[in-house]
Structure 1
Amino acid sequence: MKRIRTALVGVVAAACMVTGTLSANADPDAVAEAKSELARIQQESSALDQQIIEAFDAADKATAKLKTLKADLKAQEAKVDAGITELGDAAALQMGNDSVSLAAQLLTTSDSANFLSGLSAMQAEVDRSSAGVQQLQLEQAKLETLRTEAADTKAEADKQAKAKESLKADYDEKEAEAQAIYDRLSAEEQQRLADLQAEEEAAATAAAEASAARSASASRGEDRSETASSSSSSDSTSTAAGSGRASSAVSAALSKVGSSYVFGSTGPSSFDCSGLMYWAYSQAGISLPRSSGAQYSGAGSRVSISDLKPGDLVFYYSPISHVGMYIGGGRIVHAANPRSGVTVAGLRSMPISGAVRVVG
């Protein structure tokens, strides 16, 4: 939501330059109510966003599986048809060789050697036919299994396609609800809302710095120089380089600032939140899981927010429904939403759930 997350400051800043004191006349109750409602909607929208990404991923996997199954099904049908034809030809040959059956010939022969030889040939033919029938039955059973699996996979693909559309409709409703809340505020109230959001982010950063300083002091003693060093590496000012591949991923992600947000997209011209992380790290030769939840649980090792390095993935909300990439200086790059696209934002512009170091 552009006006919820990022553009609130930019949109109202121009009006502030004209009046200079817009927020002073804002109704504090109206601003507080709007802020609370917008925070709720933002979290709900982010959760929907994650569900949409998962539906896209599930639909893509089902579609790919169905394509493979269709090829396997076609090959198996051909195999069964060939087996049926082979057994039919063998039966026709046996029936057409002579009007007198092999069994009748055996019963009328007086030569024991011929009898035993004929009996052996008869048994071989029976065994061959029996084996052919059994093999055909196995191939037919495999064919039916493939047909059932293909039908189930198609049903799953259709289900996920419908889920995508339904979830996107719900997301659009949330966007419209947020826009209506924002639009009902006066210019003064919009400015005050932006100020409050900026103040909260600054306060969260200051609290993180203080916590990092206290932790450093407790673990290293009261040495002022070491405490200052720890504080300077906190999340608001850290620019410590990540590994070479992490730096490559940061550069790749930053190169896409301004790109559009598209649900289910992993680039190269449009992205969703986890899709941007997936694409950026693929440029560095590293394959990540597709969704933000899967990236949190399987993309690397957990890392403290106070120890972030560029390239670390930062996850937001509980349960996790959004991800961005730390770029240093207390900032992240992320695919925010359909209105904002790929942009840079404050590390603490959303509630943080945790962080993962992919490499380094």
Structure 2
Amino acid sequence: MNRVRLAIAAGLAAAILATSGIVAQADPAAVEKAREELARIHQEASAIDQQLIEAHERVQLAEAKLKTLTADLQVQEAKVATLADQMGDVATLQMQQDSISVTAQLLASGSSDNFLSGLATYQSELERSNAGVQQLQLDQAKLNTLREDAAATEAALQKDVAAKTELAKSYDAKEVAAQRVYDRLSAEERERLARIEEERQRAAEEAQRQAEARAAAAAGTSRSRDTAAASSSAAASSSAPAAETAVSSGPASSRAQGAVNAALAKVGSRYVWGTSGPSTFDCSGLTSYAYRQVGITLSRSSRAQYSGAGYRVPLSDIKPGDLVFYYSPVSHVAMYIGNGRIVHAANPRTGVNTAGLHSMPITGVRRVVG
């Protein structure tokens, strides 16, 4: 919505110049209705966006699988064709031998040694032939399975490609609907809407800063108590072996800050569905890219990150580098950068930018490292 906010500011300035200081009254009911509609549209668009990202990921996986299956099919088809040719030669030889009694041929060999030797050779060839037939049957069955798998993968791929197209249309429709809501507001009503949103975010950010300050103070008090208790214990049992000290979280915090720096370096980059850098991103693509720069691999969708990245932490304990998830069910992810702010790949209109932590309804927070 940043583009719209810029338009609001520009429209307001134009209105002031045009009216020479005459300001019309904004309709509070109209503004509130618009705010509710925009919040609903934004959430619906975010859900569609997430479905689009997941469909894109399925398409990529299906394309890679189909490529592998196609290569395996070519190898298996060549193998079956070669084995079939070999078995054809064996069958021809057997037909030729069957035209005259094999036993009669062997009896006419002139000696018992020749007879036994010939019989052993014939039995060996017969066994080899039977084994070849069995192998051909197995290879043909594998070939059929590969063909069925390839056909199913192709069908799923086409289905997801069609889904991507429809989801993109739905997303664009939501963007058009949001713009219509703004278009029906006067310049004064747009100004009031922007002011309400700014005040709401300022209040939420201030509350968040106070919560973080309280958490930091509580942590400092707890460390002081632990230090005092440890000193008392050490004085009481100086002859006892020293207890193992806790490992510092410094390196982990450094990695989290490294991820924050990587994400902030991409502010201004374009939002493109299904991409995770280095120049374009979707929401989960940005967070996965940022942590990839510090050697940590994350899943490629916000829902998967919410269910499997790191561990959950309370909002009151949020730290830079934590992943913040929005809406229910989860359909958007951002990275906390401190001071009540996030960095995220917002949408195709505004790309990668920073915003208030509470700019959208928060579902949960996960700490990847630290």
- Normalised by the length of structure 2, the TM-score is 0.83
Change (3 A) 1:24 1:327: farther
Decide whether the 8 Å contact of 1:22 with 1:188 is kept in 2: no
Change (3 A) 1:328 1:22: farther
The Cα of 1:87 is off from its aligned counterpart by 1.2
Per the alignment, residue 225 of structure 1 pairs with: none
The whole-number CA distance in structure 1 between the counterparts of 2:24 and 2:332 is 34
The whole-number CA distance in structure 1 between the counterparts of 2:320 and 2:90 is 72
Identity of aligned residues (%): 59
Decide whether the 8 Å contact of 1:260 with 1:338 is kept in 2: yes
Decide whether the 8 Å contact of 2:12 with 2:187 is kept in 1: no
Per the alignment, residue 67 of structure 2 pairs with: 67
Per the alignment, residue 253 of structure 2 pairs with: 243
The whole-number CA distance in structure 2 between the counterparts of 1:180 and 1:297 is 36
The Cα of 1:250 is off from its aligned counterpart by 1.2
Secondary structure in 2 aligned to 1:29? Answer: helix
Change (3 A) 1:11 1:319: farther
Cα deviations by residue, 1:261-303 (Å, 9 ceiling, x for unpaired) = 1111111111111111111111222111000000111121112
Would you say 1:34 and 2:13 are equivalent positions?
no
Change (3 A) 1:23 1:106: farther
Secondary structure in 1 aligned to 2:335? Answer: strand
Residue pairs, 1:221-240, within 5 angstroms: none
Per the alignment, residue 48 of structure 1 pairs with: 48
Would you say 1:357 and 2:328 are equivalent positions?
no
Per the alignment, residue 341 of structure 1 pairs with: 351
Change (3 A) 1:331 1:207: closer
Per the alignment, residue 311 of structure 1 pairs with: 321
Per the alignment, residue 231 of structure 1 pairs with: none
Per the alignment, residue 231 of structure 2 pairs with: none
The whole-number CA distance in structure 1 between the counterparts of 2:210 and 2:257 is 28
The whole-number CA distance in structure 1 between the counterparts of 2:283 and 2:21 is 36
Decide whether the 8 Å contact of 1:55 with 1:160 is kept in 2: yes
Change (3 A) 1:24 1:316: farther
The whole-number CA distance in structure 2 between the counterparts of 1:211 and 1:256 is 29
The whole-number CA distance in structure 1 between the counterparts of 2:215 and 2:335 is 25
Decide whether the 8 Å contact of 2:53 with 2:273 is kept in 1: yes
The Cα of 1:96 is off from its aligned counterpart by 5.6
- Normalised by the length of structure 1, the TM-score is 0.85
Decide whether the 8 Å contact of 2:12 with 2:188 is kept in 1: no
Q: 1:262 aligns with which of 267, 272, 293?
A: 272
Cα deviations by residue, 1:95-154 (Å, 9 ceiling, x for unpaired) = 568964523324666855444433322221111100000000000000000000001111
The whole-number CA distance in structure 1 between the counterparts of 2:325 and 2:10 is 27
Secondary structure in 1 aligned to 2:299? Answer: coil
Q: 1:326 aligns with which of 330, 336, 360?
A: 336
Decide whether the 8 Å contact of 1:2 with 1:337 is kept in 2: no
The whole-number CA distance in structure 2 between the counterparts of 1:61 and 1:25 is 55
Per the alignment, residue 151 of structure 1 pairs with: 151
Decide whether the 8 Å contact of 1:66 with 1:150 is kept in 2: yes
Residue pairs, 1:101-250, within 5 angstroms: 101-106=101-106, 111-208=111-208, 243-250=253-260
Change (3 A) 1:256 1:194: same
- Identify the range of structure 1 (50-59 vs 299-308) with the bigger mean alpha-carbon deviation: 299-308
Secondary structure in 1 aligned to 2:337? Answer: strand
Decide whether the 8 Å contact of 2:38 with 2:178 is kept in 1: yes
The whole-number CA distance in structure 2 between the counterparts of 1:110 and 1:204 is 106
Q: 1:290 aligns with which of 294, 300, 311?
A: 300
Secondary structure in 1 aligned to 2:139? Answer: helix
Aligned residues: 341
- Identify the range of structure 1 (250-259 vs 116-125) with the bigger mean alpha-carbon deviation: 116-125
**Amino acid of the structure 2 residue aligned with 1:301:** Y
- Identify the range of structure 1 (326-335 vs 84-93) with the bigger mean alpha-carbon deviation: 84-93
- Tell me, which stretches of 5 or more residues in structure 2 are unaligned? 222-249
The Cα of 1:159 is off from its aligned counterpart by 0.8
Secondary structure in 1 aligned to 2:152? Answer: helix
- Tell me, which stretches of 5 or more residues in structure 1 are unaligned? 222-239
Change (3 A) 1:300 1:218: closer
The Cα of 1:202 is off from its aligned counterpart by 2.5
Per the alignment, residue 91 of structure 1 pairs with: 91
Decide whether the 8 Å contact of 2:9 with 2:191 is kept in 1: no
The whole-number CA distance in structure 2 between the counterparts of 1:254 and 1:207 is 24
Change (3 A) 1:192 1:346: same
Change (3 A) 1:185 1:58: same
**Amino acid of the structure 2 residue aligned with 1:172:** D
Secondary structure in 2 aligned to 1:25? Answer: coil
Decide whether the 8 Å contact of 1:309 with 1:326 is kept in 2: yes
